[in-house]
Amino acid sequence: MKVGIVGRTGSGKSSILQILFRLTDPEKDGKVLIDGQDITTIGLHLLRKSIAYIPQSPFLIQGTVRENIDPFKNYSDTEVWECLASVELKTHVEKMDDGLLTKVKDGTNLFSMGQKQLMCLARAMLLNTKVIVLDEATANVDLKTDNFIQTKLRDSFTNRNATVLLIAHRLATVIDADRILVMGNGKKLEFDHPFNLLAKDVNNDTEITNTEGAFA
C-alpha cells in the first residue's frame, strides 16, 4: 500500500525514517518489523540496500548517466533504458552526444530539477525493492511533475506488491494514498483512508483540518 505521512514540523515524520534506516535504534520496548523480522537483527548493508530512498533534494553523482541509474553495475543497458523510458527521460538522454555514457558533473545543466528527481525515481525503480521511501521528494518540483511521480509510484510500485512511505507537504501528493498517517508529538494521531479523514467532523484546530499545519 501507499501510505502518506503528514504532520507539523517536529511531529515525528523524519524520526520514522531514522528508525527505519537504523540511523538510530528504537527504545528498548519498541521494534520495527519488516515481513515479521525485527530490523535490528538485519545487517545494516542488507537493510539499507533493501529500501529505496528518494530525498527532497535530488542528488546525482559525478559519473555517467548510466552510473547514476545503476551505480553498482548490476543491470543491463536494456534494463536501464527501460527505466529511463518509464519516467519519460529516454528521449532526453538519447539526444545527448554520448547517451548513457554522458558525463554528469557539478554545474552542468543536463537535467532540470524535475528531471533530476525523475532520475532518482528511475534509480529506485531499477532496484526493485519492496519498500520505497520518499522524504518530501516532490517539494521542489512543479505540480505536473509531482502528479507524474505519484502516477508512477502507483503504477510501478504498488502494483508489484511494494510498500510506499510518502512524507509530503502537499495535500494533492497524498490524497490518493491507501492510508494517511497523521503524526503529532511523536505519536500516531490518526491512521485511515484519506476520504474517511476528510469526511470527519473535526474542529478547525485539529491536525487534519488545519491543512496548513498538518502538511507543513
Distance from C-alpha of 54 to C-alpha of 58, rounded to nearest angstrom: 7
Cell of 126: 531499477
Which of 8, 20, 10 minimizes the C-alpha distance to 134?
20
Tell me the mean pLDDT in the region 64-83.
94
What local confidence, expressed as pLDDT, does residue 106 receive?
67
Burial of 83 (0-12, 13-18, 19+ CB in 10 A): buried
What local confidence, expressed as pLDDT, does residue 201 receive?
53
Confidence of residue 107 (pLDDT cuts 50, 70, 90): low
What pairs with residue 34 in β-bridges? 37
Distance from C-alpha of 27 to C-alpha of 18, rounded to nearest angstrom: 13
Q: Strand ranges (DSSP E) for the chain? A: 2-7, 33-34, 37-38, 51-54, 63-64, 103-104, 131-135, 163-167, 179-184, 187-192
Q: What is the set of domains in the chain, with CATH numbers?
A: 2-57+129-214 (3.40.50.300), 61-110 (no CATH)
* pLDDT tens digit sequence for 136-171: 878 778 888 888 888 888 777 766 788 999 998 777
Mean pLDDT of the chain: 85
Cell of 117: 528527481
Lowest mean pLDDT among 75-84, 148-157, 190-199, 200-209: 200-209
| Largest distance between two CA atoms of the chain | 58
